[in-house]
């Protein structure tokens, strides 16, 4: 009270001196008089972009709502309104704006605010918040389709991509590299489109096809192969953080493979990327959603689940929702939304409030196990189980509803009930016909509040689902739900999603994206090396109905793509990171593709697509140190030799040969893999049991598919692994090797027998098999073997 008196005394004095300045005693009009003052002096920290102390002054309503420390404006009572007290610099308030944040208000401006407050702080009911954020940052502007630039060397240009690339090279006085030879081209294309090496027959066929469109035909054939869906599906599974277990310490198994197969299938049928997006983000909400569309929502069920005892399930649910938002930000928007979880984004125009407005889209669903209809003879039994389960959940829901607003709520009983419910939901009976992990919109969506400093225990204002002001608007909709958000992501006005998507495709083909920071298109990200090309590709993708296959074909048929990847010292001087693309890049194959390549060369590869995860052999003792022993009953038959992407993925102890070659940990989205080069990789390729198996199989293949002539065999094996013919020098070195190994094993037949075990046939010469195994092992360890050139 005393403080109040002091302040009013002060104000009284102050008024006496200022009243003379406001000569006219006319009524203050909010829009005409007040808003311009607030806009000029206050919005910077209390506007749309930023709400320091939770206070926002860019609309009358928000000014009246106040901030973290309570009301800012008391209509009719300026003397007690913190807004007035702080702009007027009363004793108990830091005068606003603070030093360094702008000039203090002039006395007549302060007087206007005072009169507005004292007059009842009226404002128009239909006022729109004024703080619409504009950003000059390139990535927030909708791409405008540029015309391909003119170039000197017109003959080199095969399609518009080349014009953009060449134009840049010409300004640097660099010439592009020559086209790769045909063997390199087919090997490159096979790896890039299918993740498999070409067979010697495929190579021969391509070499024999002298028609002018031989290359285009090859591209079409590869794009039509079902292995295309595996290769590009696996890229997508990286960003989806796909795994077969729950993560954290208990890391129980989960049932996600149907989602993986959905991805493969969607890509094989060239589902347009906008559709691909909508079904994964909100397939469950599509009218009459079918089973596949439900399964597609598995994308965001790839979040971790903490099954550890004593955990607060709400905390981990919120972490999962946050991860869904962060992943969406990375994958479609190329934005680091996670930076705005605890405070407004430091670099990009995204406020903390906006973070939670987006959070709200993902906070309105339940994790749900979709049961497929059971067969008739089991339907009744299953229904009984389900009824019992629903009854138990119903009871819990009732208890939860009752606990709200009672002592239960405050003493933690409510939390406990909710924990019980969350855990219980995971034990929903499973249909004998199969089931899938999906999302399901709640009938009664949760409310979302701002989490102060990112702490979900400190809840701030309630927010409604909305998109950041700096981006395009949410399409007109009553609902403003996850489905609307999905449409918004692939709206043609979205300046980011098309660019981010083509950039990521580009990255797979050249090692680096046109924007190197492929998951940060914000102001801290790198500017594009070829901004016009990026925008041309982005608009082209939309013009082609978001067809991914069309984009692949466009890129791989360009002259840019077809260049030789040989290192060029002249280019390295000017452009060490090869951003200008005066050559292709030599790229080490991805972990799973290394396995596939070894299996393919050896002839062991099973080409079965999809289904449950498999368990290829791995070194003994891998699980010696995990908390819970994982099941790893090594698969037999074809399943032992499936493509690497089908290897069952335990998050707490992934298959070692994959991880050694930088397979993503799959805990969070991975939009670009690291390519390391380590001794542990050498040990894996040289000594791991699965690679020994491929070396042995290749040895048998060599000795059975060719006549007993070293030279022929060397060439045959070499082509199996590298597609090309050996140089005379390489052939001589390999000839030396095979003779050396044959001699060594001939003088130590026991070693040969040990190497081959009991697998030697009656008509087989174990020394020959051992020598050719040693030979195959060398080829499968070459840098070139695991490199796409």
Partner 1 sequence: MHDQSPELLLQTRRHFFERCRYGLGSLALGSLLLGDGAKPVNAGIATNPLAPRPPHFEPKAKRVIFMFMAGGPSQLELFNERPKLREMTGQVIPESYVENKRFAFLKKDAKLLGSPQKFAQHGESGQHISECLPYLSTIADKIAIVNSMSTDVFNHGPAKFFVNTGTPRFGRPSIGAWVTYGIGSESQDLPGFVVLQSGPRGPRGGAPLWGCGFLPTTYQGVPFRSGKEPILNLATPHGINMGRQREFVDAVHDLNEMRRAVTSDPEIATRVSAYEMAYRMQSSAPALMDISGETRDTLEAYGIEGDKPSFARNCLLARRLIERGSRFVQLYHTDWDHHGGPGFEINKALNERCHEVDRPSAALVKDLEQRGLLKDTLVIWGGEFGRTPQGEDRNKLLGRDHHIDAYSIWMAGGGVKGGQTVGETDELGYYAVEDRVHVHDFQATVLHLMGLDHLKLTYRFQGRDFRLTDVHGEVVEKLLA
Q: Which is nearer to partner 1, 72 or 591 (CB)?
A: 591
- Whole-Å CA distances, 278 to 294, 356, 471, 484, 670: 11, 21, 18, 9, 20
- Whole-Å CA distances, 84 to 28, 63, 106, 422, 533: 15, 12, 13, 48, 53
404 binds partner 1 (CB under 8 A): no
Q: Which is nearer to partner 1, 20 or 674 (CB)?
A: 674
783 binds partner 1 (CB under 8 A): yes
- Cα–Cα distance between 644 and 70 in angstroms, integer? 58
686 binds partner 1 (CB under 8 A): yes
- Write each residue from 687 to 706 as x if it is in contact with partner 1 (CB under 8 A), else as -, in one continuous string: xxx--x--------------
In the window 613-652, what residues touch partner 1 (CB under 8 A)? 619, 621-622, 624-628, 652
Q: Which is nearer to partner 1, 232 or 510 (CB)?
A: 510
Q: Whole-number minimum distance, CB 457 to partner 1, in Å?
A: 8
Q: Which is nearer to partner 1, 51 or 653 (CB)?
A: 653
- Cα–Cα distance between 615 and 631 in angstroms, integer? 9
653 binds partner 1 (CB under 8 A): yes
Length reported for the chain:
789
9 binds partner 1 (CB under 8 A): no
Pick one of 524, 574, 638, 739: the residue that binds partner 1 (CB under 8 A): 524
In the window 525-544, what residues touch partner 1 (CB under 8 A)? 525
Binding residue count for partner 1, defined by CB under 8 A: 93
- Cα–Cα distance between 179 and 215 in angstroms, integer? 12
Nearest to 666 by CA among 275, 236, 358: 236
- Cα–Cα distance between 694 and 598 in angstroms, integer? 6
- Cα–Cα distance between 610 and 260 in angstroms, integer? 8
72 binds partner 1 (CB under 8 A): no
Q: Which is nearer to partner 1, 208 or 674 (CB)?
A: 674
95 binds partner 1 (CB under 8 A): no
């972009």: which residue's tokens? 49
- Cα–Cα distance between 271 and 250 in angstroms, integer? 37
386's CB contacts (< 8 A; 6+ apart) are 371, 428, 429
């006219």: which residue's tokens? 24
Q: Whole-number minimum distance, CB 686 to partner 1, in Å?
A: 7
Pick one of 179, 209, 312, 710: the residue that binds partner 1 (CB under 8 A): 312
Give the binding range for partner 1 (CB under 8 A) out of 97-105, 146-154, 362-370, 745-753. 745-753
In the window 751-770, what residues touch partner 1 (CB under 8 A)? 751-756, 770
- Cα–Cα distance between 189 and 198 in angstroms, integer? 9
Give the binding range for partner 1 (CB under 8 A) out of 437-445, 468-476, 678-686, 703-711. 678-686
Pick one of 60, 176, 511, 522: the residue that binds partner 1 (CB under 8 A): 522
Give the H or E element holding residue 462.
Answer: strand 459-463
407 binds partner 1 (CB under 8 A): no
In the window 556-595, what residues touch partner 1 (CB under 8 A)? 565-569, 586, 588
In the window 341-360, what residues touch partner 1 (CB under 8 A)? 346-347
Q: Which is nearer to partner 1, 310 or 708 (CB)?
A: 310
789 binds partner 1 (CB under 8 A): yes
Nearest to 655 by CA among 605, 607, 686, 613: 613
Which tokens hold the place of 36? Answer: 């311009």
- Write each residue from 699 to 738 as x if it is in contact with partner 1 (CB under 8 A), else as -, in one continuous string: ----------------------------xxxx-xxx-xx-
780's CB contacts (< 8 A; 6+ apart) are 598, 601, 685, 691, 694, 695, 698, 721
């Amino acid at each position: 009270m005393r403080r109040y008196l002091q302040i009013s005394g002060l104000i009284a004095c102050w008024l006496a001196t200022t009243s003379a300045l406001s000569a006219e005693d006319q009524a203050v009009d909010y829009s005409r008089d007040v808003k311009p003052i607030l806009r000029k002096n206050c919005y910077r920290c209390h506007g749309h972009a930023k709400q320091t102390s939770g206070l926002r002054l860019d609309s009358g309503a928000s000014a009246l709502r106040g901030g973290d420390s309570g009301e800012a404006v008391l209509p009719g009572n300026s003397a007690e309104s913190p807004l007035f007290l702080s702009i007027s610099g009363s004793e108990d308030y830091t005068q606003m704006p603070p030093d360094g944040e702008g000039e203090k208000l002039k006395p007549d401006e302060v007087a206007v605010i005072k009169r507005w407050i004292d007059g009842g702080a009226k404002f128009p009911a239909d006022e729109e918040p004024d703080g619409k954020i504009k950003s000059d940052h390139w990535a927030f502007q909708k791409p405008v389709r540029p015309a391909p630039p003119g170039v000197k060397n017109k003959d080199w240009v095969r399609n518009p991509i080349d014009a953009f690339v060449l134009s840049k090279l010409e300004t640097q006085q660099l010439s592009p590299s020559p086209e790769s030879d045909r063997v390199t081209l087919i090997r490159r294309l096979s790896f890039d489109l299918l993740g498999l090496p070409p067979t010697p027959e495929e190579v021969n066929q391509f070499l024999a096809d002298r028609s002018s469109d031989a290359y285009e035909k090859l591209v079409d054939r590869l794009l039509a192969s079902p292995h295309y869906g595996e290769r590009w599906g696996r890229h997508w599974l990286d960003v989806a953080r796909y795994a077969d277990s729950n993560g954290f310490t208990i890391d129980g198994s989960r049932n996600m493979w149907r989602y993986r197969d959905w991805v493969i299938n969607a890509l094989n049928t060239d589902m347009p990327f906008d559709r691909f997006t909508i079904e994964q983000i909100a397939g469950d909400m599509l009218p009459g959603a079918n089973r596949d569309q439900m399964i597609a929502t598995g994308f965001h069920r790839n979040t971790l689940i903490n099954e550890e005892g004593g955990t607060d399930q709400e905390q981990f649910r919120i972490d999962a929702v946050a991860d869904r938002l962060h992943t969406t930000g990375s994958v479609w928007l190329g934005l680091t939304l996670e930076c705005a979880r605890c405070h407004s984004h430091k670099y990009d125009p995204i406020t903390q409030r906006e973070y939670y407005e987006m959070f709200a889209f993902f906070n309105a669903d339940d994790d749900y196990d979709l049961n497929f209809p059971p067969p008739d003879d089991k339907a009744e039994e299953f229904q009984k189980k389900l009824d019992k389960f629903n009854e138990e959940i119903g009871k819990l829901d009732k208890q939860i509803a009752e606990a709200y607003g009672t002592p239960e709520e405050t003493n933690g009983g409510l939390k406990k009930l909710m924990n019980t419910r969350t855990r219980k939901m995971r034990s929903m009976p499973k249909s004998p016909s199969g089931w899938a992990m999906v999302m399901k919109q709640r009938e009664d969506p949760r409310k979302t509040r701002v989490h102060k400093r990112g702490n979900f225990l400190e809840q701030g204002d309630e927010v409604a689902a909305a998109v950041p002001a700096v981006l395009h608007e949410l399409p007109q909709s009553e609902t403003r739900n996850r489905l609307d958000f999905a449409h918004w992501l692939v709206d043609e006005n979205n300046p980011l999603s098309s660019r981010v998507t083509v950039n990521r495709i580009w990255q797979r083909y050249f090692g680096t994206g046109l924007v190197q920071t492929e998951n940060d298109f914000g102001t801290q990200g790198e500017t594009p090396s070829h901004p016009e090309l990026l925008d041309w590709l982005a608009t082209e993708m939309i013009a082609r109905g978001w067809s991914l296959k069309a984009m692949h074909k466009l890129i791989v048929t360009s002259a840019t793509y077809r260049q030789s990847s040989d290192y060029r010292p002249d280019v390295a001087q000017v452009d060490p990171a090869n951003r200008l693309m005066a050559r292709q890049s030599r790229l080490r194959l991805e972990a799973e593709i290394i396995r596939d390549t070894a299996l393919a060369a050896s002839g062991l590869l099973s080409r079965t697509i999809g289904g449950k995860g498999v368990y290829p052999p791995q070194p003994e003792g891998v699980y010696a140190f995990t908390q819970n022993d994982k099941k790893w009953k090594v698969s037999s038959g074809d399943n032992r030799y499936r493509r690497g992407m089908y290897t069952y993925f335990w998050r707490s102890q992934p298959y070692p040969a994959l991880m050694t070659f930088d397979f993503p940990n799959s805990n969070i989205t991975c939009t670009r893999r690291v390519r390391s080069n380590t001794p542990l990789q050498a040990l894996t390729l040289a000594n791991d049991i699965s690679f020994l198996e491929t070396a042995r199989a290749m040895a048998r293949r060599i000795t059975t598919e060719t006549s007993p002539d070293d030279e022929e065999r060397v060439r045959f094996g070499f082509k199996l692994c590298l597609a090309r013919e050996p140089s005379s020098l390489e052939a001589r070195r390999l000839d030396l090797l095979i003779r050396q190994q044959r001699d060594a094993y001939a003088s130590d037949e026991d070693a040969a027998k040990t190497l081959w075990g009991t697998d030697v046939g009656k008509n087989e010469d174990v020394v020959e098999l051992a020598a050719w195994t040693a030979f195959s092992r060398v080829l499968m360890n070459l840098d070139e073997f695991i490199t796409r050139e």
